[in-house]
Amino acid sequence: MTVETTVPDTLHTLSPSRAGDFKTCPQLFKFRAVDRIPEPVSIHQARGTTAHLALQRLFDDPIEARTPDRLFDLFREAWTEIRATEEFRGLFPTVEDERLWGVESLELLANYFTIEDPTRFDPTERELEMVEDLDGMLIRGILDRMDRDDTGRLVITDYKTGKAPPETYALPAFFALKIYALLIRNRTGQTPAEVRLLYLNGPTLYRLGIDDRQLDAMDSQLRALWAAIDRALATGRFPPRPGRLCDWCSYRKICPAWTTSPD
């Protein structure tokens, strides 16, 4: 079956994740944002979605109740909700497969408490929906968590359930968080002091200090990306950019980088 898509002639909104897609590979951006071709749901995606919801809800509880056992219960409750949705229904072939996935997920969640103590702070924001107009660029997304450190400075944290990359390769993973820091500065007038990537699989915590110079540079980079996406929409040219991430791309079988024979 052929799926026909209507390609917009100009960009209207952009999320930090889709901006990252275009920066990584314009063809990936087209598959996801323009063609909107669904990607197969994986057990890793299910784990990430459920863990995010459990960690969000953990901070609804009083400080003294934020224990590992409580987080495990919240994960089980969240998965009971999520597994009933059409997206995740029938994900596991057998009950035993689902049980083993659950055990591995709880072991991963236990790592959270080796990185930070949730009884020592209250986030200022969780799962914050953002829609910000940056002088003509409408950027929208959902920020995992924002806190204030001991000196009152803003800190943005993003949860990751996948494996942490080596530190030398971690810098590109901060790209979306820098955009969120830019959105926060635009909304509040305050520049976040730090962005953090909290990898439960490890566990590993990567931190990056932020200042206005970096955010000004990100604003320029974001405008260049916006203009490049507009050009791609106008011309229909979204060149693939093959690389090491192609091995994990859901679209590899239909990507012209891998399906087009060399002349």
Q: Output the pLDDT for position 197.
A: 96
- Please check whether residue 250 is in contact with residue 42, taking contact to mean a CB–CB distance below 8 angstroms: no
Cα separation, 189 vs 171, whole angstroms: 25
| Residue numbers of the domain that contains 215 | 11-35+123-241
Regarding whether 179 and 62 lie in a shared domain, the answer is no
| Among candidate residues 250, 262, 242, the one with its CA nearest the CA of residue 26 | 242
Cα separation, 114 vs 204, whole angstroms: 9
**Domain count across the chain:** 2
Give me the tens of pLDDT residue by residue for the chain, a chain 263 residues long.
344 455 566 799 999 999 999 999 999 999 999 999 999 899 999 999 999 999 999 999 999 999 999 999 999 999 999 999 999 999 999 999 999 999 999 999 999 999 999 999 999 999 999 999 999 999 999 999 999 999 999 999 999 998 888 887 778 889 999 999 999 999 999 999 999 999 999 899 999 999 999 999 999 999 999 999 999 999 999 999 998 888 889 999 999 998 865 44
Q: CB-side exposure of 105: number of CA atoms within 13 Å?
A: 26
CATH code at position 159? 3.90.320.10
